[in-house]
A and B are shown apart, each in its own frame.
Chain A
């Protein structure tokens, strides 16, 4: 296995964290940061495609957008925004703690971050289940599970064959033609489709982010970091902040305007 062992000439005076291909820890850190940023560029462009679709269809169906946004749970999303912004702060503080070599504070901040991330996912999951419960005919997720209160609601906001946008919220009364109703429905359906795609993709990134944070926590518990080497905390933090930035745009675009 000559490929992994170090050659004698390349054993450095630095710590074990310096990989064989680098000369200095600074070089390793800068390469990691630049590489992470290049990856973040990729992520931004990935979500860019969804935002592109959002712009195109919002342009086409402004009324449908307004009516649909009113049916999303804005108070919960606001709570979620606060949760994510706080988690961004805790991540920034975690990086700061790692920089100062304060292991205790680093672990606290990482734990807080993961807790906040989980909270976000739970709230998001509740929002989703609300929509699915309505499709199943229940008033809220709890009555959906217990099986009571069925057939209360006449809406289904999950895109698909069963999609049904409630009449009283739409501009379409009985006076309009059937063709018109169909096209209005399609605008609403596109809104919810994009909503589920965008927030779903965001949630997947959140889950990956939680995995990254757990890995960093384990590394911190094993004393892998020092004030001179905390690159994983830093680039993991970059990833977490990116998730936050995506939400900063998703929140107003879907819930507010």
Chain B
């Protein structure tokens, strides 16, 4: 299948003569693949920025004293880290980059349903990002990424309004992406591509889109009211004026808990693709994985109060929220069990994307199980706002979403660019990230359990050894994130030509050339079989034909 050279015409190439023309052809493009590349670049920029803020936080925490930063600067550093990572990296990451690139390709469409809306959503993302950056440059915000009232509305004297405006605008970018996916997945599937023939990545993105359109506006209005309160000097959340600060938390978590699933659901979709491809097996329990995505999306809306166990919410509400929180574990576990069942008797090849996928399963299980600890009110009262919580959500967000994001980038890199990355360096980087990640965040579970509260820049000396371990791990993690940047950049020029289907995977995106032509398919494909239609003996044949020296 491998070809000697890249295809003559693809979405990357154009015949613009001057630099200005070339720039225009990218900045005014309505091609979903080009917009995905724009997102890839801008999102990775924000990721590095958020990582920089995290570095500041970790460096400060090497010593128990506040010797690098004052408490105020420290507050601004972790808030910058939180705001950038949550709103400008994790939420758009997989849907906006991989989803944008793959949804039309996977369903055999020429583009998304609303290409211009898609471009608009990238511009909104950038405008929101610029607002957040301006806020950071002119002093930053010190409220934490949650913007809790009455701190944001009454007490904080940092750039709250500017940051909130940025997040508000970014929210609309997220809504437009979701809306676009919903219309596309419903109306633009290729002939024969029924719902139960869709790749699971599409199911996951569909569930994500539902959350995006239902939850994001509620965050929008909650933040808008904070702006009104600050600018106008009136008290909608101010208890002194009859308001209720907890109302903000309700509205905020009505978005932000489902937003956790905006981050993790598409990651689960990516993992389903990777596991199946590199086991050479059809996915086990397709319908269960598909419906568990929808179930997580719906249940995710009913559990937000578990963020408010200690915030003077009613104990009865806490009880019910705690119970429903347990229910979310069921669809999540269904996915994990089905992935492991897919691995069973598969011909597993440990290519870089698969390393990330296997890492995901392990880390997500740890993150998910500690989530159950936190869902139990009795335990949560003990560890609320400690490093236990910090470690838990980093296991899910970094160990889950970022592992899947990187795995997905590697998996579809040949499709995006037409070239292969360096497999050896890829595996090394994946292992570095896995080790660095666990070294960073596992000590934080212990720290939190021992009572180290989050968001403090000084701490009792007995915690120092664990903090130093964590910082050391973070340095390893940072190296792990920089290495892929280098070899992926090199692969753009030096990488081997990938060919249409370097992994021997199923799925419509592998049926077109790499990189795909502007309109994806020369002829609209007709689908006659299920996704992951590996023949039953594919794994055995694959294993039998393995020889020393052939790729793992």
Contacts and interface: CB of A to CB of B under 8 A. Distances in A.
Interface of A: 1-4, 7, 9-10, 19-23, 27, 30-32, 34-35, 38-39, 41-43, 45-50, 52-53, 56-57, 60-61, 159-161, 163, 183, 186-187, 189-190, 193-194, 197
Contacts of A23: 524
Contacts of B492: none
B16 interface: yes
Nearest to B29: A3
B243 interface: yes
29 contacts: A1-B16, A1-B21, A3-B11, A3-B31, A3-B34, A3-B518, A4-B30, A7-B517, A7-B518, A7-B519, A22-B188, A27-B188, A31-B114, A31-B184, A38-B213, A46-B217, A46-B218, A48-B218, A52-B250, A53-B236, A57-B243, A57-B244, A160-B233, A160-B234, A161-B233, A183-B242, A186-B235, A189-B234, A189-B235
Interface in B3-35: 9, 11, 13-16, 21, 24-25, 29-31, 34
A186 B242 contact: yes
A154 B179 CA distance: 49
Nearest to B221: A49
A23 B523 CA distance: 12
Given A30-B187, A31-B188, A49-B217, 19 more contacts: A1-B25, A2-B25, A3-B11, A3-B29, A7-B517, A9-B523, A27-B188, A31-B114, A38-B179, A41-B213, A42-B175, A45-B214, A49-B221, A56-B244, A56-B247, A186-B242, A190-B235, A190-B242, A193-B236
Contact of A49 (B114, B222, B519, B523): B222
Contacts of B31: 3
Contacts of A42: 175, 179, 213-214, 216-217
A27 B109 CA distance: 12
A160 B24 CA distance: 47
Nearest to A56: B247
B233 to A, nearest CB: 6
A107 B467 CA distance: 70
Interface residues of B, number: 62
Interface of B: 9, 11, 13-16, 21, 24-25, 29-31, 34, 104, 109-115, 117, 175, 178-180, 182-184, 186-188, 213-218, 220-222, 225, 228, 232-236, 240-244, 247, 250-251, 517-519, 522-524
Looking at chain A's contact residues, is the secondary structure mostly helix, strand, loop, or mixed?
A: helix
Contact of A2 (B14, B215, B233): B14
B187 A27 contact: yes
B31 to A, nearest CB: 4
Contacts of A56: 244, 247
Contacts of A186: 235, 240-243
A34 B112 contact: no
B327 to A, nearest CB: 23
A194 B30 CA distance: 40
Contact of A35 (B34, B110, B179, B242): B179
Which residue of B109, B234, B524 has the most chain A CB atoms within 10 A of its CB atom?
B234
Nearest to A1: B25
A39 B13 CA distance: 34
A82 B24 CA distance: 48
